[in-house]
Amino acid sequence: MRIGSGAGFAGDRIEPAVELARAGVDDLVLECLAERTIALGQQRRLGDPDLGHDPLLRARFERLLPVALANGARVITNMGAAHPLRAGEVTREVMAAAGLTGRISVLTGDDVLDRIDPGAPALEDGRPLAEHGELVSANAYLGAEALLPALDADVVITGRVADPSLFVAPIAQRLGWDLDDVPRAAAATLIGHVLECAGQVTGGYFADPGVKDVPRLAELGFPFAEVDADGSAIIGKPEGSGGMVTVGTVREQLLYEVTDPTGYRTPDVELDFREVRADQVGPDRVRISGARGRPRPDELKVSVGYRAGHRAECGISYAGPGAADRARLAADVVTERLAGTGLRVRADVLGAMGDPDGECRLRVAAMAGDRSAAQIVCHEVESLYTNGPAGGGGVRTDVREVIGIVSALIPRSAVTPQVTTLEVSDATA
């Protein structure tokens, strides 16, 4: 089977996914959640019950679904974020408006805010979760086992599912693999891990001019895997697209975000990378094999969001002769005036330091316990307009709440996944 990666984060490009759908894949996975992304979705949903899903979902699907469904590709995505059911409804609206028919499956159950113990220790520092701040979200990383029942559909929407698990489930389903078979689960997880960040493995995050040059980076193609029944896979990209697939790009992605290569813990398996091989088998084609593992853990990781305060971020520009010196003086003025507030202030001067006709910009940032304290920082930067130094302009200020993220564990038995099915028929359209 052939499975493609159509997005590696929430703000990813849309065209490469459409290109993959045209090239032909059995499944097209859009991985659009990071730890903070879903917490911010929960924050948006608190303000408006119709929000919380990925804000680009409609725009992505309007362009992608007509091509993907016409070419027989099943689309799987975690763009449901903090509100998968609403994301399913939006998907139905998009399909109906485009005259498409089919089935949408929505996987829920990852939201465990009402089940997480506030006294549980955070994995990062061992402190009780509640000590970090008011908890606003808690989303368990569901695995392939939870996703399998949702795959009888043309479009599958989820909330928080572990990134590689989005690939593990369709691979296992199409090849008839048992998820209790540890070598098979490890093989599928390895493939999912290589694909999950999309353009990173085709040269995007790899590129370093003069050191690791990547051709036609502006036309970067996204990857697919041709998965064999023995668990090996060939990583490739659409013919004619930019970027490259080499042993180097694959090796870098193999170790991306892996703290322990002997035991990369996912909901499906503890993956051991030590015997993994990456072999170039053709232009832009790399075979990966050799995954090993241990049985899946009894606990699931939970990403917990909490109110961490407010961040002020402000800037003012200086241009012409002496711009750098005036910007540095402005930084000294702001830090001196804020010295008694108890805020930890960072002031950076950026720009053309040695160019007498260039522009320098002072950037000031600080964290505060509440919005009013953060506004003080913005006011001090804005007051530089007339209180010197000379020639300041282009002030921009921004204050926003910060959602902090820590992790915890929850028993797998405490999480109850559910699948909701939505039909789009000719009558709907």
Q: What is the pLDDT of residues 266-283, one digit of tens each?
A: 999 999 999 999 999 999
pLDDT at position 352: 78
Alpha-carbon torsion, ordered 319, 323, 324, 330, to 10 deg = -100
As a whole number, mean pLDDT of residues 359-379 equals: 96
The percent of residues in the chain predicted with pLDDT above 90, rounded, is 92
Convert the pLDDT of each residue in 70-112 to its tens digit. Answer: 999 999 999 999 999 999 999 999 999 999 999 999 999 999 9
Which ranges in the chain are annotated with CATH 3.30.70.1150?
Answer: 304-407
Task: Give me the pLDDT at residue 41, please.
Answer: 87
Residue 40 phi, psi (nearest 5): -65, -35
Q: Note the pTM of the prediction, 2 decimals.
A: 0.94
Q: What are 163-197's pLDDT values in tens digits?
A: 999 999 999 999 999 999 999 999 999 999 999 99
Q: Model confidence over 390-428: pLDDT tens digits?
A: 999 999 999 999 999 999 999 999 999 999 999 999 766
What confidence category does residue 254 fall into, taking pLDDT thresholds of 50, 70 and 90?
very high
Q: Place domain 304-407 in its CATH homologous superfamily.
A: ACT-like. Chain A, domain 2 (3.30.70.1150)
Q: What is the mean pLDDT of the chain?
A: 95
pLDDT band at residue 299 using 50, 70 and 90 as cut-offs: very high
Residue 34 — pLDDT band, cuts 50, 70, 90? Answer: confident
List, in order, residues 6 or more apart from 64 with CB less than 8 Å away.
6, 14, 17, 18, 21, 28, 75
Asked whether the predicted pLDDT for residue 429 surpasses 70, the reply is: no
pLDDT for 426 equals 78
Contact between 119 and 93 under an 8 Å Cβ cutoff? The reply is no
Interatomic CA distance for residues 213 and 296, integer angstroms? 39
Is residue 8 a contact partner of residue 28, using CB atoms and an 8 Å limit? no
